[in-house]
Amino acid sequence: MKALVISGGGSKGAFAGGIAEYLLQENNNDYDLYVGTSTGSLLIPFLALDDIERIKKIYTSIRQDDIFSVCPFIVKKKNGVIRTRINHFGIIKQFIKGEKTFGNSTNLKNLILTNFTKEDFGKIRLSGKEIIVTVANLTKQTVEYKSSNNYEYNDFCDWIWASANLVPLMSVLTKNNQQYADGGFGNLIPIQIAIEKGATTIDAVVLRLEKCDYNNPPLQNAMDVFVRTFDFMLNQIGVDDLLISNLQALDNNAIINFYHINKTLTTHSYVFDATEMKQWWEDGFEYARLKNSAVQKE
């Protein structure tokens, strides 16, 4: 069995999209299983459909308002440099309404329902392919993997949405008297579940540097501190995921082909800038092309 796994990474998912485009359309890879966390969960339904152009259009034209109904931070871009600060009014409005989080991502849910249709879901079922999204169950403090084989369309769209919701910046999904959020809190790079499902060859797109040589700019405000702390935590979860996955692959004679980002794309992975993301998609495609060309020459 062959699997494609895509990690979490917010707007850096555009780079993953470019890699996936190369693997599917230029390298003619055919996968039985697609597994994603967060932004990876948003990509994989369209990749399973082999509908690269549709998801590419979404990722390269998206705006902050397409994700957030209430954005907890204000974004300013000056001379190509992105700055963020706390959206005090938006957060206060959330508290007045009795919401559980600083921001609201209902717009993302609507984006999923509009672009990934019930007909699309049916096509995936008929194809025999399986897609799995990773969610964090905050009620039980566990990681759960939700398969397209086990749920109907509306429920599965809920799981895709939950998988991509980095709380408390985004919404919490309450379902069956339990609360769910971004799967990256427990499994940022969900290779293990692909191995457990029987995958013997795995292409894994990891939206972090292979060697963590980060040199972030100085923190400017409380929102920068908050987001940077989350990034640090998620990076450490990613390190653990990779270690566990490599050990599990050895035990199960599975081959993992890793595709890491090859440069620092952004320090604001929850800022969605269409111009930057269009370039990252192209960068991801070119990176995958060069990497595979190098492997073929060996």
Domain boundaries, the chain: 2-62+116-297
d(CA 182, CA 164): 5
Residue 176: Cβ-neighbour burial (10 angstroms; 0-12, 13-18, 19+): exposed
Check: CB of residue 104 under 8 Å from CB of residue 70: yes
Going by C-alpha positions, the residue among 50, 47, 49, 40 that lies closest to residue 15 is 40
pLDDT score recorded for residue 79: 79
Question: Tell me, what's the pLDDT at 90?
Answer: 94
**Pairing of β 33-37 and β 2-6:** parallel
Query: From the candidates 41, 148, 158, 182, which is the catalytic residue?
Result: 182
Which residue carries 């490599």 as its tokens? 246
Instruction: Provide the token pair at 60.
Output: 């390269």
Q: In whole angstroms, give the CA distance from residue 115 to residue 152.
A: 16
| Known catalytic membership, residue 105 | no
**Segment (H or E) for 97:** none
- Look up residue 119 and give its two tokens: 């007909």
Q: Where does residue 74 rank: exposed (0-12), middle (13-18), buried (19+ CB within 10 A)?
A: middle
The structure tokens listed for 241 are 């995921």
Which residue bears the tokens 């919490």?
172
Query: Given 2.40.40.20, 3.10.690.10, 2.40.128.20, 3.40.1090.10, which CATH number is that of 2-62+116-297?
Result: 3.40.1090.10
Q: What is the pLDDT of residues 125-176, one digit of tens each?
A: 999 999 999 999 999 999 999 999 999 999 999 999 999 999 999 999 999 9
CA distance 232 to 75: 21
Token look-up 């984006």 returns: 111
Q: What angle do CA 9, 19, 128 make, to 5 degrees?
A: 95
Q: What local confidence, expressed as pLDDT, does residue 235 receive? A: 85
Nearby residues of 60 by Cβ (< 8 Å), 6 or more positions away: 14, 274, 277, 278, 281
Q: Has 38 been annotated as catalytic?
A: yes
Q: What pLDDT score was predicted for residue 296? A: 62
Which residues pair with residue 83 across a beta bridge?
A: 76
Tens digit of pLDDT at every position of the chain (298 positions): 999 999 999 999 999 999 999 999 999 999 999 999 999 999 999 999 999 999 999 999 999 999 999 999 999 888 778 888 899 999 999 999 999 999 999 999 999 999 999 999 999 999 999 999 999 999 999 999 999 999 999 999 999 999 999 999 999 999 999 999 999 999 999 999 999 999 999 999 999 998 876 677 777 778 788 888 888 888 889 989 999 999 999 999 999 999 999 998 988 899 999 999 999 999 999 999 999 886 665 5
Q: Which of 7, 11, 32, 38 is catalytic?
A: 38
